[in-house]
Structure 1
Amino acid sequence: MNSSVSQQPNVRVLEKPTNVFFHCGEGFYYESLPKGTRVIYPNPSHAAIADVDAAIEHALENPLGCDPLSAQLRPGMKVTIAFDDLSLPLPPMARPDIRELIITKVLKKLGEAGIDDIHIICAVALHRHETPAELKYQLGNKIFNEFYPSGRLYNYDAEDKEGNIFLGTTEKGEEVEVSRRAVESDLVIYVNINLVSMDGGNKSYATGLSTYRTIRHHHNHHTLMHCKSYMDPKNSALNASCDRQGKIIQEHMNIFKIETTLNNDTMPAYATYLKKPVWEMNWFDWGNFWINKKLLDASSIKTRRKIFEQLRAPYKLTSIYAGRTAPVHEKILEKVFAQHCVPVQGQADIGIVGIPYLSPYNVNSIMNPILTYVMALGYSFNFYRGKPLIRKGGVLIALYPLHEDFHPVHHPSYIEFYNRVLTNTTDPKTIQDKYEEEFAYNPKYIEAYRYGNAYHGVHPFYMWYWGCYGLAHLGKVIFVKPQSKRPAEIMGFATANSIAEAIEMAKDVVGDNPSISNFHYPPHILLDVS
């Protein structure tokens, strides 16, 4: 492709109209972008750690800010191990999951120290409870077979009144209510994957092991409207709230935090072309692309979802740190930013992005319209530091087929939220004030969360708030080639039959001769816009 002068290897400005392919749900879209479009791809993967076992051992015995793990252990202790749920990483990690490797080594040390009062908690917060098969996939057969049948491996339950305990309030009045088992343990070991810079730190506890009473203080319209960047902790009101709550949590828990980073290997060997800039693709890559596109186009949506559900990423470990929360997270953020940040000079009038089939909230499930909204406005828009890629009042063009489908087991409250709340109002503040508590305390949704595999009743509200800053910033949002226009109409978006048509529509908002930027993910990307 002879199309541009390169600012850097993964950023180019097209010198002529050029055909590009995009992720578009459970498939791909292919269309020409106009001359002058800036095309941005993620960074190549950083080098992986060769000896993972040695790296885990070194982190546990050379922690930051505290004694080595083995020096903290004594017979008769009560220990709780908590770990991130299946919302991380995306796509799911090919086995063995790094959490299995870390927890296996931790359990060996606990056993050698004569400790047998051990619980392992999947820190789901208000996410859906994982199935036994999902827990087994993350932790492996050995851990699952030893701990699950005895009831010592389980999902955190944010609605268990006896299983949670109130710790107090922050100086800003934010309540802190968390897992009683964790508070009453002599040691809490939290195993985290930092997929993006928003993950980890105090957010692990202030969400993963906390109740609605706690989470509502940072997952709300007001707080999220004051996040200059979700992905830049120092400019995130959400992160600041979690830090305040985390201070109280750490006053009541002895926490040994283990955080990790992964490289950008999001695609298995047969699909490596998906992470290449289009100008680096060879004839073999293009052949694979067209074969896969034709097969997917000819398949039913059910078959396509099944195909993508099976995709596993060959992620490799790039760093691991352990110890006290603050110094560990500081080191981890350096690694995350180094892998994901792509320097970009200047904002654009129009941003174009293809939305992939997967979000943190539809693993082994369905990307419903609200999750599509949050991937476009909550995540894609917010993949930046400094400034948004799209200028104030600019236009986001998103590619996703907008299936009007919901998983009835995983997302029951989403269905009511979509059909009753959004058809009445899309204003985040009105939605929060008028409807949130009704859904949060609905016994039917609480029952489905506790004893089924449903997201908490309040969860779709958080998804809607998550996109509120992007929605307020942008002048227009256009979805290209929707399967159904109804979701766009309900959520207040425009639709177009092609990127070219969407660009012409955007000119009514941003004027003629707009600057256009197209960015691609996965792999993961963070735009350092100056």
Structure 2
Amino acid sequence: MSRPGFVLEVDDRTPALLTFSGDQLRLSRFGLGTKVVYPADADVSTNPIRLIDSALEAPAGTEPLEQRLTPSTKLTLVVLDTDRPRPRMRFDVRRSIVERVLELAARAGVDDVAIVVGGGLNKRWNPVDITRVLGDRVATSFQPDGRIESHDVTSEDAVAIGEVDGHAICVNRRVAESDLVVAIGAQFGHGEPCPLSAGIADVATLRRLGSPDSDRGFAKRVHETIHSSLNVFAVQAVLGQPHLSGALRFAHKREWEWKLADQLAFAAARQLAAALPRTGSQSLYSTPSADYAVVDVVGGAPAQVYDEAASVWQAANGVEVVGRADVVVTGAWGGAFDDGDPVGSPINAAHHALARRLGSHTGTPFVRDGGVAIAFHPLAPRFSNRRQSSAADFFAKILPETVDPAGMADFEERACSDEWYVDLYRKQFADHPLRTFQTWYRVAEATRSLSDVIWVGGNRRTADLFGHRSASTYADALEIASNTVGREPSITYLHGPGLPLGDVR
């Protein structure tokens, strides 16, 4: 059992604390009285088979999975990938769940089995991704026969399974025509309220679900329509915090507990990144992986599974924070949100810092209304030409016109029908262009109650484009913030590469 998270109040004995900024890891000093929210300790992964078996044999709200399988069952496993743990899992627990379900299907004599990757608007999986996540045994058994597919939200082959408010709800054909669907995912944050809907629906439905003016009632009715139309058994693995090793072994630890090896690893990482600014950070941080302890595995009726998994994650990671701060501070490490880029794109950095980390609370935000957010990231306007083509154009052409989601409907329509963007998505090279818009909508929503967002070390032009501000140093950021929150603000710093879940009281 890992140690729970806690809140440290900075005093004279507090050492310099680790801060994350793009591909830079630094030790920084914080003022006396600053509250530092440490997440629960990260543990190494262990064999999850017993937890998986328990979830399949004693599920919530339904009979055991094995009793729902017969030789005539048309079975589809949906591997949910709408939200991905970053850093990526060194060993993906979804592989173990898939293998266990396939063993039960084989024992029951089920012949018609297929796997659908429900990634929604995320980049579709290619054969390399399938092998990396699901393993050689599953890949070689299913790929040659075409029994693994990555769901295409733009497919004209989608099947309408119902209607909500006059809008046809369409989903993946294989899933719609199955006798039984086993939805397999991982819980490592608040996540999607219904990852199955986000993973297998068509682009028109996802546009409505993620639009800035979408109401919760519509989303609830969509989820209910999908679950009532499909026979679904959900399995959700609840993960702990990321446990880093090797060159990053120090990153998830508390600074006063660093041993000599941790101190040397940090010094070596700093020197390598300084001596080889591009290749050094690329080798260290471009695609880091981490162990995630499996806290629990929950199986059964989807609505109960997703609620229980979220509750378990909250219980394992919650940290009680007394009082809302005037200023909340966080880092944005590229290795925690962008694969293959140690710095990360500025739009994804803003989403990670402002929507995910600042939004990682149980209902009451870390910062008061009218408060200030300070984030560490260079906001370099860099995008992968192929993988982030739509995001690059969004940054260069749309944000200069408007940052208000309400004024982006026409731009969104054109992007979703752009043949180049859609072709990159369909050929498994890039996210769907709609994902960039919905990422920005979440950023705008997260900053609506803030009086200012200040980026330490941030590119000034990018910050201006976002409607934010930039500062050269943390001290300069506090000086700028003093115009709003005064000279002696209360400050909360969210520590670590994971998600410190705050229960603010």
TM-score normalised by the chain length of structure 1: 0.89
Residue 142 of structure 1: aligned partner: 137
- Give 1:211's aligned residue: 202
Aligned to 1:436: 412
The answer (yes or no) to whether the contact 2:87–2:287 under 8 Å persists in 1 is no
Matched, 1:344 2:338: no
Letter in 2 for 1:518: Y
Structure 2 distance, partners of 1:368, 1:102, is 33
3-state secondary structure, aligned to 1:188 = strand
Task: Assess if the C-alpha contact under 8 Å between 2:83 and 2:191 holds in 1.
Answer: no
The structural deviation recorded for 1:18 is: 5.4
Alpha carbons 1:121, 1:154 under 8 Å: kept: yes
Structure 2 residue 496 is the aligned partner of structure 1 residue 521: yes
Quickly say closer, same or farther: Cα 1:359–1:275, change in 2 above 3 A: closer
SS of the aligned residue for 1:374 comes to helix
Structure 1's 151 and 447: CA in aligned 2 closer, same or farther, altered over 3 A?
Answer: same
Contact conserved, 2:155 with 2:202, CA < 8 A, in 1? no
* Unmatched runs of 5 consecutive residues or more in structure 2: none
Amino acid at match of 1:148: Q
Corresponding residue of 1:458: 434
In structure 1, the residue matched to 2:462 is 487
Equivalent positions of 1:171-186 (< 5 A) are: 175-186=168-179
Q: 2:74 aligns with which of 55, 61, 78?
A: 78
Deviation at 1:353, TM superposition (A): 0.8
Deviation at 1:446, TM superposition (A): 1.6
In 2 relative to 1, CA 372–438 (structure 1 residues): closer, same or farther, beyond 3 Å? same
For 2:20, the equivalent position in structure 1 comes to: 23
> Which one is further off, 416-425 or 435-444?
435-444
Instruction: Give unmatched runs, 5+ long, in structure 1.
Output: 1-7, 227-236
Deviation at 1:430, TM superposition (A): 0.9
Task: Pick the aligned partner of 1:328 from 290, 300, 305.
Answer: 305
SS at match of 2:75: strand
| Cα distance change on mapping 1:251 and 1:86 into 2, 3 Å | closer
Indicate the residue corresponding to 2:421 in structure 1.
445
Partner of 1:131: 126
**Aligned counterparts of 1:86 and 1:218: Cα–Cα separation in 2:** 14
Q: Percent of aligned positions with the same letter in both sequences?
A: 26
Give the match's secondary structure for 2:378: coil
Measure the CA separation in 2 of the matches of 1:286 and 1:38.
24
Partner of 1:3: none
Read off the aligned partner of 1:71 and give its amino acid letter: Q
Give 3-state SS (helix, strand or coil) of 2:290's partner.
Answer: coil
Q: Distance in 2 between the 1:272 and 1:85 partners?
A: 27
Deviation of 1:302 after TM superposition, in Å, equals 4.7
Q: How far apart, in 2, do the equivalents of 1:94 and 1:495 lie?
A: 35
Give the AA of the match of 2:432: H
Match of 1:309 among 279, 286, 296: 286
Alignment-derived partner of residue 32 in structure 1: 29
User: Per-residue deviation at 1:69?
Assistant: 1.3
Q: Which residue of 2 aligns with 1:230?
A: none
Q: CA deviation at 1:509?
A: 1.5
Moved more, 185-194 or 149-158: 149-158
1:141-196 deviations in Å (ceiling 9; x for gaps): 0101111122111210111111x1122333x5665221121111011011010111
Q: 1:190 aligns with which of 183, 188, 193?
A: 183
**Preserved CA contact (<8 Å) 1:273 1:285:** yes
Q: Is the 8 A contact 2:287 2:339 kept in 1?
A: no
Contact 2:390-2:433 within 8 A present in 1 as well: yes
Q: Matched residues in 1 for 2:16 and 2:454: separation?
A: 20
The residue aligned with 2:473 is 498
The alignment status of 1:93 with 2:85, answered yes or no, reads no
More deviation, 291-300/508-517 = 291-300
Q: What amino acid is aligned across from residue 74 of structure 1 in structure 2? A: T
Deviations 1:451-502 (A, max 9, x none): 24111122211011011222211111111113x3322122122111110111
1:279 positional shift: 3.4
Which of residues 370, 382, 398 in structure 1 aligns to 2:359? 382
Aligned to 1:420, what secondary structure does the other structure show?
A: helix
Name 1:14's counterpart in structure 2. Answer: 10
Q: Distance in 1 between matches of 2:362 and 2:63?
A: 34
In structure 1, the partner of 2:244 is 267
Q: CA-atom RMSD, angstroms?
A: 2.2
1:250 pairs with one of 201, 210, 227: 227
Kindly tell me: are residues 506 and 252 of structure 1, through their superposed partners in 2, closer, same or farther at Cα, counting changes over 3 Å?
A: same
User: Relative to structure 1, is the Cα distance of residues 246 and 212 closer, same or farther in structure 2, using a 3 angstrom cutoff?
Assistant: same
Q: Which runs of at least 4 in structure 1 moved beyond 6 Å after TM superposition?
A: none
